[in-house]
Amino acid sequence: NRLRARAFAQYRRDNFVEAEALYRESLGFSTWDVASVEGMARSTARLGRFPEAIAWAELAVERNPRSAATYRVLGDVWRQAGHDDQALRVYRRGLRRHPNDRWLRQRIRELSAR
Task: Indicate the Cα dihedral angle 79, 52, 94, 60, nearest 10°.
Answer: -150
pTM for the model:
0.93
From the centroid of its chain, how far is CA 18?
17
pLDDT of residue 69: 96
pLDDT attached to residue 103: 96
Alpha helices in the chain (DSSP H): 2-12, 16-29, 34-46, 50-63, 68-80, 84-97, 102-112
Using one digit for the tens of pLDDT, what is the confidence trace for 27-84?
A: 999 988 999 999 999 999 999 999 999 999 999 999 999 999 999 999 999 999 999 9
